[in-house]
Structure 1
Amino acid sequence: MKLATFNINGIRSRLPALLAWLEREAPDVVCLQELKAPDAAFPAAEIDRAGYGAIWHGQASWNGVAILARDAQPVETRRGLPGDPDDTHSRYLEAAVDGLLIGCLYLPNGNPQPGPRFDYKLAWFERLIVYARKLLDSGHPVVLAGDYNVVPTDFDIYNPRSWLKDALLQPESRDCYARLLAQGWTDSLRKRYPDEQIFTFWDYFRQHWERNSGLRIDHLLLSPQVAATMRNAGVDRWVRGEPHASDHAPAWVELDLERLAGDAAEVATKASTNATRAGEVKKTALKKAAVKKAAVKKTAVKKTAVGKASTAKRPTASRKTGK
């Protein structure tokens, strides 16, 4: 499976670019962010003709997330990040595809900071950390993919000096990301390129694309069992160089789902074997208990019979009569 995340930055205006990328790269699963369109404006028909089933959670003018699956229909499992019933932003969507649980997220930008937008960013991040822990504890194979709007380290940006006041580089933002990884998630791009700068975003100013002055803010985090199946990861940089491109390029990871299925089958076999052994042990214990109970009952019956026999043989005492 090739699973990608792509901040499309307006799905209606950049639909031709999205369709061209789908045709050329043929990813199996796509997590889209920043649709900037309400549900009714989502181009479902065009995406269906491209061979992809889709679910989406739109919002007028900004935000919005979607999950696409090639020759399949994602099965929605959650809409919206839990933890704040008053949060109306369309930033999280989750679905099951091919045995994987996939969370597509668009984390708040947080600028300008300090201020209410940055406070919201950190609060949303905290909710994600809590929910991500529950996903790990569930034991399901999980991928959390999307635009995290955080540059994890200075190595993930061309030059941090001009971005020091930006919400994407603040210590609080980076701390949240580090705490998320510490739960046991694998950052697939950094795992694949441990010593190489690799970017997913180049803004529209000062020829940042032409100069490769980029940032890495789009991440695919893998739960431990999924990380064990990772074959490759990368960025489709060519998309950023196309006319009228998004300021992001698709990031992706390749997974060996057969291995994941094999691991799941092995776990199931072990569980079945353990259950069979437990059943045999229980049967043996019950059998022993039944034999012991029967022996005790037999002994009790024998004692009762002996007692009755002894009473029957005992001579009757003669009654003395007076003269």
Structure 2
Amino acid sequence: MRIASWNVNSIRARLEHLRTFLETASPDVLCMQETKVEDEKFPEEALGDAGYRVVFFGQKTYNGVAIAARYGLGIEDVKKNLDGDEDDAPRRLIAATIEGVRIINVYVPNGQAVGTKPFAYKLAWFERLGLDLAAHHRPDEPLLICGDFNVAPTNLDVHEPKRWEGQVLCHPDERAALGKLFAWGLVDALRDKHPDEKVYSWWDYRMGAYRKNHGLRIDLALVTPPLLARTKDVWVDRSVRELERPSDHAPVLIDLAESQA
């Protein structure tokens, strides 16, 4: 099974890019973040025409998450947002079980700037994600958390570590919050397969960052040990980032072998 995760930065603005990606990369499952569209306006028919069933959880202008799966694959036990979220809370998480794999698709808050209320909210959101994991899952289950984490795990994931030192996306407090997920039992699948490779998934639109490859790896695929044992490879597909008017993120893909259970 091939699972992809992509911050599309507005699904309606990037719909043609999405069609291209589905045709060329051919994922069985696609997790999307920052869809930026209300549920009643989600382009469900376009995904259906491409051969995918989709569940979505969105809002106008900001946030929004969705999971699409090929027809024939069941999408079961859908969960939206974290435990305790009110109905009007920002829509940042959608989870489902597909082919026995629990997939949690997240769009972690950006945090804006260190020391601000949005930064504190980001750290609290990470804490609540950890509580959800502990309440509903175990590390010995086949589980994937993927999406835009808005944290570069280490300096290897940052083109210019000195410039980003102490800043949002690279702050020690954010990395510590992410580290608690690792301590619970998750593994950074790409880094496991490619321990020393400089790989980025996000490039600022400004200053020719993509052309210079001045990026950060903030889009992650975190897996439990049972799923890591099935992981054949993980990589970033930069092809759609090179299209006209692209998302500032590139998709992360993970290929899984069939379960032996």
TM superposition score category, shorter chain reference: over 0.9
Name the Cα RMSD after superposition. 1.5
Cα offset for 1:79?
A: 0.8
- In the alignment, structure 1 segments of 5+ residues that lack a partner are 265-323
Structure 2 letter corresponding to 1:184? G
Distance (Å, rounded) in 2 between the aligned partners of 1:252 and 1:169: 23
Aligned to 2:252: 251
Aligned to 2:89: 88
Cα offset for 1:223?
A: 1.1
The reply on whether 1:110 has 2:103 as its aligned counterpart is no
Q: Deviations over 1:62-105 (max 9, x none)?
A: 00000010123422421111144476110000111111111000
In the TM superposition, 1:39-58 aligns within 5 A as 39-58=39-58
Partner-residue secondary structure (3-state), 1:210 = helix
Q: Structure 1 or 2: larger helix share?
A: 1
- Greater relative CO (CA pairs within 8 A, separation 6+): 2
Distance (Å, rounded) in 2 between the aligned partners of 1:48 and 1:85: 30
Distance (Å, rounded) in 2 between the aligned partners of 1:30 and 1:233: 14
Distance (Å, rounded) in 2 between the aligned partners of 1:190 and 1:228: 14
Aligned to 2:236: 235
Aligned to 1:215: 216
In the TM superposition, 1:26-37 aligns within 5 A as 26-37=26-37
Q: Identify if the C-alpha distance between structure 1 residues 76 and 13 changes in structure 2 by more than 3 Å, giving closer, same or farther.
A: farther
Cα offset for 1:175?
A: 0.3
CA contact (8 A) 1:103 1:145 kept: yes
The reply on whether 1:11 has 2:11 as its aligned counterpart is yes
Distance (Å, rounded) in 2 between the aligned partners of 1:242 and 1:114: 36
Q: Percent identity of the aligned residues?
A: 39
Partner-residue secondary structure (3-state), 2:5 = strand
Aligned to 1:321: none
Structure 1 letter corresponding to 2:23? E
Q: How many pairs does the alignment contain?
A: 260
Cα offset for 1:160?
A: 2.1
CA contact (8 A) 2:54 2:67 kept: yes
Aligned to 1:119: 120
CA contact (8 A) 2:58 2:65 kept: yes
Partner-residue secondary structure (3-state), 1:32 = strand
TM-score, normalising length from structure 2? 0.95
Q: Structure 1 or 2: larger strand share?
A: 2
Q: Identify if the C-alpha distance between structure 1 residues 48 and 16 changes in structure 2 by more than 3 Å, giving closer, same or farther.
A: same
Distance (Å, rounded) in 1 between the aligned partners of 2:198 and 2:165: 19
- In the alignment, structure 2 segments of 5+ residues that lack a partner are none
CA contact (8 A) 2:139 2:225 kept: no
Distance (Å, rounded) in 1 between the aligned partners of 2:113 and 2:86: 25
Cα offset for 1:194?
A: 0.1
